[in-house]
Amino acid sequence: MEIYMKIRIGIFGYGNLGRGVESAIGQNPDMELVAVFTRRDPESLKIATAGAVVARADEVEKYKDDIDVMIICGGSATDLPVQTPALARHFTVVDSFDTHARIPEHFANVDKAAKEGGHVAMISVGWDPGMFSLNRLISGAILPDGEDYTFWGKGVSQGHSDAIRRVDGVLDGKQYTIPVQSALDAVRAGQAPTLTTRQKHIRECFVVAAEGADREKIEREIVTMPNYFADYDTTVHFITKEEFERDHAGIPHGGFVIRSGRTGLDGEHSHVIEYSLKLDSNPEFTASVIVAYARAAARLRREGAVGCKTVFDVPPAYLSPLSHEEIIAKLL
């Protein structure tokens, strides 16, 4: 039997996701947080874990022998394309890179760096990309004659909330993406509908306007905004700062991956596979997925694996703290 040492984790970047990773590590007794790395002044950062170090991001290489897995908690737009390849030269790493269109390019860059450094680098871990991807892959392999549907929400879209806040006269704003119930119902009934963007999701905005601002103009500007809102049915609610803080402080999210397909010599039988998430906190759930894959990354590395990996490449057993005997007996 293997003797397990605790898996020593580093967190690179301490925003919502980094704090989520910290609290997830606290739920996993086989892991310990060794250090948090920040671009801010380390003195200014208060973390929740007694005994863990707060260190400067540019001193991270000094810790290469003290950390088994570095969890990189930067943003996908500009941080991760630089940070993940750079850190993969020195550490086994996990990131949550989520710009779907650029994943092949990110994979190639990270794979090269990880192989040169002799490390495992797990990218695009979370729920989409992540758990939703896994379900698209597995369900598609099971039901090759079928259709895939992904719905998001009800949940907060950070990008769309940012877009609202850039509108003139808006003090604060939050946007919820909501799947259209009738579309969900049709998909679940195995009707395999063809759905336009507008038929799949609606967008609901809560806006705090500046005093004296032209609300009609704000609303018009939001609902006609190209790329963000123009292709959707969008509703805008004006609320007070107090209501905003009371009712819209959280970062809930979730969604549905549904595959409907047919089997039988004449395709005479229909089947529906559905995976859904209902999340109070998007960053904490994403962090929880990442931490489970950090365990897998540590195991893959221990076995001698190198290079870039995704959720598609990990034997699920590696995610669990239980032994193979236990999972066979208890979970199979």
Q: Pick the piece of the chain touching a copy of itself (CB under 8 A) from 52-60, 76-84, 221-229, 321-329.
A: 321-329
Within 109-168, the residues that bind a copy of itself by CB under 8 A are 124, 129, 131, 133-138, 140-145
Q: Considering beta carbons, is residue 234 or 286 the nearer one to a copy of itself?
A: 286
User: What's 126's DSSP letter?
Assistant: S
CA–CA distances in Å: residue 99 to residues 69, 138, 190, 305: 23, 21, 30, 26
Phi, psi (rounded to 5 degrees) for 295: -60, -45
Residues in the interface with a copy of itself (CB under 8 A) total: 69
Cα(52)–Cα(9) distance, rounded to whole angstroms?
A: 10
Smallest separation (angstroms) from a copy of itself to the CB of 154: 13
Say whether residue 304 binds a copy of itself (CB under 8 A).
no
Question: In the set 61, 302, 312, 323, which binds a copy of itself (CB under 8 A)?
Answer: 312
Q: Considering beta carbons, is residue 75 or 321 the nearer one to a copy of itself?
A: 321
Smallest separation (angstroms) from a copy of itself to the CB of 147: 14
11 Cβ neighbours under 8 A, 6+ residues apart:
18, 21, 22, 33, 35, 36, 37, 70, 71, 73
Cα(171)–Cα(245) distance, rounded to whole angstroms?
A: 12
Within 274-293, the residues that bind a copy of itself by CB under 8 A are 274-281, 284-285, 287-289, 292
Report the length, in residues, of the chain.
332
One-letter amino acid for residue 142 of the chain: I
Peptide bond into 129 cis (omega under 30): yes
Cα(89)–Cα(119) distance, rounded to whole angstroms?
A: 7
Q: Pick the piece of the chain touching a copy of itself (CB under 8 A) from 62-70, 71-79, 192-200, 311-319.
A: 311-319
Cα(167)–Cα(129) distance, rounded to whole angstroms?
A: 29
Say whether residue 235 binds a copy of itself (CB under 8 A).
no
Residue closest to 236 by CA, chosen among 198, 203, 199, 211: 203
Say whether residue 246 binds a copy of itself (CB under 8 A).
no
Within 165-204, the residues that bind a copy of itself by CB under 8 A are 188, 190
Interacting residue ranges for a copy of itself, rule: CB under 8 A = 20, 23-24, 26-28, 48, 100, 103-104, 107, 124, 129, 131, 133-138, 140-145, 188, 190, 263-265, 269-281, 284-285, 287-289, 292, 295, 310-317, 319-321, 324-325, 327-329, 331-332
